[in-house]
Copies of this chain bind each other. A is one copy, B any other.
Amino acid sequence: MIRVSIVGAAGLVGECLLRGLLGHPQVKLALLVSESAAGKPIGDILPPLRNECDLTAVAATPEEIAKASDLVFTAKKGAETFQTVPGLLKGGAKVIDIGGEFRFRDAAVYEQWYKETHACKDLLAESVYGLPELFREEIRGARLIGNPGCYVTSSTLALAPFVAANVLEDDGIVVDSYSGASGAGRQFNAKQSNLFVDLDENMRAYGVGTHRHTPEIEMGLTRAGGRPVKVTFVPHLAPLDRGILTTIFARPKKDADLTTEKALAILRGFHTKERSPFVRVLNGPGEVAVSNVVRSNYCDISAQVIERTGQLVVASTLDNLVKGAAGQAIQNMNLMFGLDETTGLKGRSL
């Protein structure tokens, strides 16, 4: 059994992680670390989990956590992450960080987009970007994972096959995404006034040109394509609890002679059952519906070439808290500990 702890157990991702780990056949929960909730039974912090888990949240130092754990999921941001992760690794635990702090090998990119000094630059060289469909082998051997962002996962899984096949004009790739409110997390929500009265029956863009997931999407595609790729990324808030729907537009290269059939073949060729056990390639963008993936670890994708304009349309959907965060993190854990990648994730809702 893998002894697993969570730092930041009281948030929305923490709850989702806990659901996943409680039903995981190879996991023994060790410490649920939460400064703000220390001393409280988990059922008091996360009422849906009453009677499901009799652990109590604790405050603990990285050393104490590492001693009790083979693996630690860290779900904090910025300074708190930088204060925690080195001690965990030093203490011998492996770490999967759900935040943005260990996703970029280049600290400058982090500092530019996150407006924060990176205090653990020395760890970046060994950190591995936790997108199994692209970096499975590296993940297997890693002791520090930067778990991908939610928008990023939906975009990269949809675009990487086409970028790898080199069938798109690099100029003018557009990623238009819509996310449910849980994407922001409960604390961020409170700060940003994401109230019911403001989101209900409403939709709007935010972070246009500045959203932190932009360089992360480009990083994955650049690595997938072996050449620099840029995208125009526009995130929106939608009146959903969970779920992201991403629609991607790109112009195929003239000589690629791309058709809908070829586009679907490219998706299916890339996302084989072996490479992508949680990606389902469907027959058309109209089949890609948020409600089909919510609470699962699946990402549903399809594509269509619009004959009249020659434009490629790719649709992609996933649950921002599962394949976009906690589920993908568990998938990474499975890989790091030599388990079947789908253990505790197939046949489950988180």
Q: Choose among B51, B195, B284, B291 the residue that contacts A189 (Cβ–Cβ < 8 A).
A: B195
Does A174 interact with chain B (Cβ within 8 Å)? yes
Q: Of the 9-residue stretches A30-38, A63-71, A117-125, A238-246, which lies at the interface with chain B? A: A238-246
Does A268 interact with chain B (Cβ within 8 Å)? no
- Residue-by-residue, is A190-229 near B (CB-CB < 8 Å gives 1, otherwise 0)? 1001111111111111111100001000000000000000
CB proximity of A73 to chain B, nearest CB, Å:
18
A308 to B232, CA, bound (A): 8
Q: Of the 9-residue stretches A80-88, A144-152, A292-300, which lies at the interface with chain B? A: A292-300
A23 to B25, CA, bound (A): 12
A232 to B252, CA, bound (A): 13
A285 to B241, CA, bound (A): 23
Q: Choose among B50, B172, B195, B286 the residue that contacts A208 (Cβ–Cβ < 8 A).
A: B286
- Residue-by-residue, is A15-34 near B (CB-CB < 8 Å gives 1, otherwise 0)? 00001001100000000000
Specify which chain B residues have a CB less than 8 angstroms from the CB of A47 in the assembled complex: 287, 289, 292
Q: Are B234 and A347 in contact (CB under 8 A)?
A: no
Residues 287 to 335 of chain A near chain B (Cβ within 8 Å): 287-296, 298, 304, 306-309, 311, 313, 315, 317
Specify which chain B residues have a CB less than 8 angstroms from the CB of A40 in the assembled complex: none
Does A107 interact with chain B (Cβ within 8 Å)? no
Q: Are A286 and B195 in contact (CB under 8 A)?
A: no
Q: Are B241 and A239 in contact (CB under 8 A)?
A: no
Which B residue's beta carbon lies closest to that of A289? Answer: B204
Q: Are B203 and A245 in contact (CB under 8 A)?
A: yes
CB proximity of A211 to chain B, nearest CB, Å:
11
Interface size for A (C-beta < 8 A) is 82
Does A93 interact with chain B (Cβ within 8 Å)? no
Q: Can you report 26 residue pairs joining A to B where beta carbons are below 8 Å apart?
A: A19-B349, A22-B347, A48-B292, A172-B251, A174-B249, A182-B197, A186-B197, A190-B190, A194-B196, A194-B197, A196-B196, A196-B199, A201-B240, A201-B242, A201-B243, A201-B294, A203-B243, A204-B245, A204-B290, A205-B285, A205-B313, A207-B286, A230-B308, A234-B285, A238-B239, A348-B348
Given A171-B251, A196-B196, A204-B286, does the pair A238, B241 have CB atoms closer than 8 Å?
Answer: no
Which B residue's beta carbon lies closest to that of A291? Answer: B202
CB proximity of A258 to chain B, nearest CB, Å:
14
Specify which chain B residues have a CB less than 8 angstroms from the CB of A51 in the assembled complex: 280, 298
Q: A residues within 8 Å of B by Cβ?
A: 12, 19, 22-23, 47-48, 50-52, 171-172, 174, 176, 178, 180-182, 186, 189-190, 193-209, 214, 230-232, 234, 236, 238-243, 245, 247, 249, 251, 280, 284-296, 298, 304, 306-309, 311, 313, 315, 317, 346-350
Q: Are A290 and B203 in contact (CB under 8 A)?
A: yes
A205 to B347, CA, bound (A): 26
Q: Are A232 and B182 in contact (CB under 8 A)?
A: no
Q: Are A232 and B249 in contact (CB under 8 A)?
A: yes
Q: Are B197 and A306 in contact (CB under 8 A)?
A: no
